[in-house]
Structure 1
Amino acid sequence: MIIINKKLIALDLDGTTLNNNSQLSELTIKTLKTAVAAGHVVSIVTGRPNRISEQFYDQLGLKSPMINFNGNLGILPHEQWPLEYEYNVDKDIVAELLSKNNELGIKLIAIEGRDLFMANRGATIDMGFFPTILKAGQQLTHQNLQDHHNPISITVAVEPEAMVTMTSYVETHFGDQVSISPWGGKYSIVEIAAKGIQKATGVKILSDYYGISQADIIAIGDEHNDTTMIDYAGLGVAMKNAIPSIKNAANMITKYTNEEDGVAKFLNHQLDLQLAE
């Protein structure tokens, strides 16, 4: 197979590359491995922390850097990468939210870094992404907060009726330092991270690292946090199941949803991988 232009393929995970059971289909794995074998670069660019992304990276057999926390962490899993980076949030903000959690209607506060996860309580079963029972050393308190480095992200779950109050408080007091991003979906959850850092931040670092022009970037996503990389890419692609604003921002929309191997079928056609579907 001869490549006309080497592409950087930046892939969101949830609602995009993964199906609704948070799994990679056999067709998706085969397609992405074929794209890499053909000389393209496939990179995961996700809002997920690395602790719940690396299993998919390994399933795909990737060797490219991975971007986590919506652009705030760039690593080469299992190896050293000279361009490894992370953007952090002042832990004093965490302390402030902990002290006002009742006043602001906060149900859960979790902080994360590359090798850090702590929360003030276990998550409810239906919240997802966080353990329901905290292990030793994972309980977040004012005291042990001071024993750790500044986190990469703060995730806050609030009572639905308290969302405006909580986000307004953070914006008023810390808006010059952080950005607040809703997770999307049915839960009242936001992520607080370094101001101005987005998925496009990581995609640009990847494209520069590989010497791939902006015109040869393909970015595929479905939610609010994918907007910047879809705007930045030469070819921004929205999933058929994407929210309306992502479809409006994209150059193309897949014919199939994430439940129907939309990423695999799109790339198979777009890159002429000639895989039987």
Structure 2
Amino acid sequence: MKNIYITDLDHTFLRNDLSISDYTKNIWNSYKDASILSVATARTYKKTMQFLGGIHINAPMILLDGALIATVDKKIIDTKFIKKDLADAVIDEGAKFGIYPFVLALADQNLNEVFLHSNILNNHQKNVLTRYKRDDNLQALKNIRAMDDNFKVVYMGEEKLLKDLAKQVEDSFGDNLKYILAPEAYTGCHFLTILHPDADKSHGIKTLSEYSGFDLSKLTVFGDNYNDLGMFNLAKISVAMANAQEKVKQEADVILKYNNDEDGVAKYLEELKNAK
């Protein structure tokens, strides 16, 4: 049975400038024949594929925090959607706090995604959107409404505001949704991600295991933030980056001395190979 390696992207596999070094590409790809290789990320399919040029992936990817499982050739394995009426109700709750979300949704079965945002943006959102200005799936709306099939609703802002919003949303919708409040290292704020209750990386890995028939006792995962904790609990070996959140390090089997800018994932894999 092959070993399985699944890595988070941001602040784990990607450097802070969103690139992947040739060294990391070479080490990762050297595992392609003897291992199962994939990613588990909060990113969309489109963004993930933009980042992974030259990277070998031979299993379905866990995308959008587990709301989508899909192959590199756009075969959809599983989806966990927030339906329109529920997503719109969440948007209405946020409006009471004077804050409007990003909504990531599926436009069609060809895996075309839509990134919806309000015309009313805070500075953190404006900062994030500068990285998407060349993308053709952005839609700015005066009165933001969700679509039929929504992967997630994401708020960005100061921690206290988002804590208050998270409490309000959870009080209103309870177990009908999943709520993840975490630091956002690129902009220095926090983000509140709202998902289908079964949309997370741990459910994604279980789905992937059933689909691909791999053994979880052979699984190693890499991560840095709170949305990685579910897959840490499932894996045989969980590896936290040197730059990981402290709560994530506490749950990890291995804490690297290297951060994402220092090719931490690749250095771990190279040391593993050299130890054999």
Could you tell me the TM-score, scaled by structure 1's length? 0.85
Contact 1:159 1:188 in 2 (8 A): yes
Tell me, yes or no, if the aligned pair for 2:44 and 2:64 is still in contact at 8 Å.
yes
Q: Which amino acid aligns with 1:110?
A: V
> Where does 1:1-277 land on structure 2 (aligned, <5 Å)?
6-37=2-33, 39-80=34-75, 84-113=77-106, 114=111, 115-121=113-119, 124-127=125-128, 131=132, 138-140=139-141, 145=146, 148-185=147-184, 186-272=188-274
Q: Determine helix, strand or coil for the equivalent of 2:175.
A: coil
Aligned equivalents of 1:8 and 1:36: distance in 2? 10
CA contact (8 A) 1:121 1:134 kept: no
Find the aligned partners of 1:262 and 1:98 in 2 and give their Cα distance.
38
> Structure 2: which 5+ runs fail to align?
none
CA shift in 2, pair 1:28/1:89, >3 Å: same
Deviations 1:205-255 (A, max 9, x none): 223333321110001111111111111101111112211111111111223
Q: Aligned Cα RMSD in Å?
A: 2.7
Report the Cα distance in structure 1 between the residues aligned to 2:177 and 2:235, rounded to whole angstroms: 25
Deviates more, 1:213-222 or 1:240-249: 240-249
Q: Counterpart of 1:188 in structure 2: which amino acid?
A: H
Q: What displacement does 1:107 show?
A: 4.4
Distance in structure 1 (CA, Å) of the matches to 2:133 and 2:120: 4
Relative distance call for 1:210 and 1:273 in structure 2 (3 A) is farther
Q: Output the CA distance in 1 between the equivalents of 2:138 and 2:18.
A: 27
The aligned amino acid for 1:14 is D
Does 13-22 or 129-138 show the bigger shift? 129-138
Q: Which runs of 5+ in 1 are unaligned?
A: none
Q: Is the 8 A contact 1:122 1:130 kept in 2?
A: no
Instruction: Judge which range, 234-243 or 132-141, deviates more.
Output: 132-141
Worse-superposed segment, 20-29 or 199-208 = 199-208
TM superposition score normalised by structure 2: 0.85
Count of residue correspondences: 265
CA separation in 1, counterparts of 2:144 and 2:264? Answer: 47
- SS of equivalent residue, structure 2 residue 222: strand
Distance (whole Å) between structure 1 residues aligned to residue 251 and residue 130 of structure 2: 28
Structure 2 residue matching 1:173: 3-state secondary structure = helix
Residue 79 of structure 1, CA deviation: 4.1
What secondary structure is seen at the aligned counterpart in 1 of 2:178? strand
